[in-house]
Amino acid sequence: MRSPVSLHFGERVTITSLRRVGVKKLILDQPQYQDFFFAVEIDTSFDSLLGNINTNHIGIDLSTIVSFSSVDTLSPGVDFKSGKVVNAWIEYRDSMKMVCVWVSYSSTSSPTPILASQVDFSEQLKEFMHVGFSTSNGGGSGIHVIDHWQFIKTLDYGSREEVTPMDTIEEGNCLLSS
Q: What pLDDT does residue 6 have?
A: 35
Q: What is the sign, positive or negative, of the torsion defined by CA atoms of 93, 94, 95, 100?
A: positive
Q: What pLDDT does residue 92 have?
A: 86
User: Which residue, 83, 9, 88, 1, is CA-closest to 46?
Assistant: 9
Q: What is the sign, positive or negative, of the torsion defined by CA atoms of 123, 126, 131, 135?
A: negative
Rg (CA), the chain: 16
State the chain's mean pLDDT as an integer. 72
Q: What pLDDT does residue 144 have?
A: 74
Q: So where are the chain's domains?
A: 10-177
Q: What pLDDT does residue 2 have?
A: 30
Render pLDDT for 44-88 as a digit per residue (tens, 0 to 9): 888 888 888 998 999 998 888 888 999 999 999 999 888 888 888
Query: Using CA atoms, how far apart are residues 18 and 148, in angstroms rounded to an integer?
Result: 24
- 10-177 is classed in which CATH architecture? Sandwich (2.60)
Q: Are 70 and 64 in contact (CB under 8 A)?
A: no
Q: What pLDDT does residue 72 have?
A: 95
Sequential DSSP letters for 120-169: --TTT--SS-EEEEEEE-TTS--------------S--TT-TTS--GGG-
The reported pTM is 0.70
- Non-local (6+) Cβ contacts of 123 within 8 A are none
Band of residue 93 on the pLDDT scale cut at 50, 70, 90: confident
Band of residue 125 on the pLDDT scale cut at 50, 70, 90: confident
Residue 33 has pLDDT above 70, yes or no: no
Q: Are 97 and 153 in contact (CB under 8 A)?
A: no
